[in-house]
C-alpha cells in the first residue's frame, strides 16, 4: 500500500493475516436508544458521529505468475503444467491434490519465457 500523495510505502502485506489501518474512522454517533426514556421509549432522535481520516492510497498486487491455471479438481491442471514446463507437481486422481501453488517456466523457441502457476482450488 502506497500513499498516493507522498509515494511512500505505508505497508507491505506479505504474511497471512497481515493487517493495516490506512485511515482511522471517526467516533460514532449515538443512536436513538441513548435518548430513550420511560415516557418516550422510541425517540426519533440521533446524534451524528465525527468524520474519520481521509487518505488516498494506491494498492499494488505482486505477481505470482503470468498465467494461472484455475479450474475444478482433477481436470488436468497439474498434468498440463508438467507437460508444458519442467515442473514436477504432485499428480493424483482425487480431489484437491494441489495444496500450494506449483510454478513452472515456459520457454518459447524465440527466447521469450513466462511463468505458469497451478493454483489450489
| pLDDT tens digits, one per residue of 39-71 | 888 888 888 889 999 999 998 888 888 998 888
Asked if pLDDT for residue 73 goes beyond 80, the answer is: no
Distance of CA 76 to the CA centre of its chain: 26
Q: Which H helix or E strand runs over 66?
A: none
| pLDDT tens digits, one per residue of 84-112 | 998 887 776 656 666 678 889 999 999 99
pTM, two decimal places? 0.49
Whether 104 contacts 119, CB under 8 Å: no
Q: How confident is the model at residue 114 (pLDDT cuts 50, 70, 90)?
A: very high
Please tell me the distance from the alpha carbon of residue 106 to that of residue 32, in angstroms, as a whole number.
63
Cβ neighbours of residue 71 under 8 Å, at least 6 residues apart? Answer: 77, 121
Q: Look up residue 2 and give its three cell numbers.
A: 502506497
DSSP class of residue 83? H
Asked if pLDDT for residue 74 goes beyond 90, the answer is: no
Amino acid at each position: 500500500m502506497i500513499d498516493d500523495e507522498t509515494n511512500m510505502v505505508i505497508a507491505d502485506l506479505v504474511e497471512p493475516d497481515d493487517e493495516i489501518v490506512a485511515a482511522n474512522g471517526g467516533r460514532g454517533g449515538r443512536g436513538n436508544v441513548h435518548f430513550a426514556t420511560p415516557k418516550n421509549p422510541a425517540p426519533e432522535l440521533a446524534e451524528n458521529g465525527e468524520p474519520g481520516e481521509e487518505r488516498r492510497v494506491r494498492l499494488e498486487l505482486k505477481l505470482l505468475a503470468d498465467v494461472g491455471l484455475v479450474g475444478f479438481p482433477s481436470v488436468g491442471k497439474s498434468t498440463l503444467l508438467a507437460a508444458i514446463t519442467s515442473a514436477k507437481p504432485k499428480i493424483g486422481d482425487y480431489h484437491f491434490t494441489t495444496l500450494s501453488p506449483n510454478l513452472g517456466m515456459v520457454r518459447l523457441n524465440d527466447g521469450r519465457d513466462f511463468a505458469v502457476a497451478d493454483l489450489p482450488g
